[in-house]
Every structure is written in C-alpha cells, then in structure tokens.
Amino acid sequence: MSDPGFYRGRHYTEYVEVVQDLKRHNDLDEAEKLLFSLVAATETESRVKNWGVAPWYYEQLAIIYRQKQELREELRILERLSKQQHAPGDKPAKLLERLKKLRAELAAD
C-alpha cells in the first residue's frame, strides 16, 4: 500500500502537467481516468492528515464532463467534492456555487 496522497509512486500534485498534456491533446478519456485516481488519492490524504482535499482535480473532471456534455457526471463529481473537507482558499466555494447552478440547470430541463 502506498502513502496517502500517492498514486503509482508519485504524489498527486506531480500529475498536474500530465493531466494538462492529456487535455491539450484532447485525450479526455485518459485524463478522466487519471483524475479519478488522483481524486481518490487526495481524499485518502485528506482523511489521514485531517485537512481539505485539493479542489483542482475535481474542477478538472467537472470541466471535462462539461466539454463532453455529460452534465450528470459533472453533477456527481461536484457533489462528491461537496461531501469532502475543503482546503482553504476560494476554489471550493466557487465549485460549490457551480454545483448550485448546475442543479438549477438540470432541474429546469
């Protein structure tokens, strides 16, 4: 078993450039798979160390789902974030506001 926050021997923060490259090359399916593993890593680290999750990984998944027009999946990842302990900063609040707007958008359909 690896240390909390690690995926395949590297801390989740070391994958930012990899995710960005996948997105740049429009390999959204691979970026999505990787991001799910990184979300799990940040959640494990959050539980063990009792601090907030890193919101960037959830945000990137939400962006991918919006690009793919998979609004129900976007809703699921934002709801998953809403149930986590949040890191300091304004990003969690912005993502929770995005969740609120998305719920309203889906309710109107």
Whole-number pLDDT of residue 88: 87
- Residue 71: Cβ-neighbour burial (10 angstroms; 0-12, 13-18, 19+): middle
Whole-number pLDDT of residue 43: 97
Whole-number pLDDT of residue 1: 55
Closest to 66 measured CA to CA, from 17, 32, 21, 108: 32
What distance lies between CA 101 and its chain's CA centroid? 17
Give the chain's domains with CATH numbers: 6-108 (1.25.40)
Strand, helix or coil for residue 86: strand
Whole-number pLDDT of residue 37: 97
- Residue pair 11/5 in contact (Cβ under 8 Å)? The answer is yes
> Along the chain (109 residues), what's the average pLDDT of each consecutive run of 10 residues?
88 98 97 98 96 96 97 97 93 96 92
DSSP strand pairing (6-7 vs 10-11): antiparallel
Whole-number pLDDT of residue 109: 78
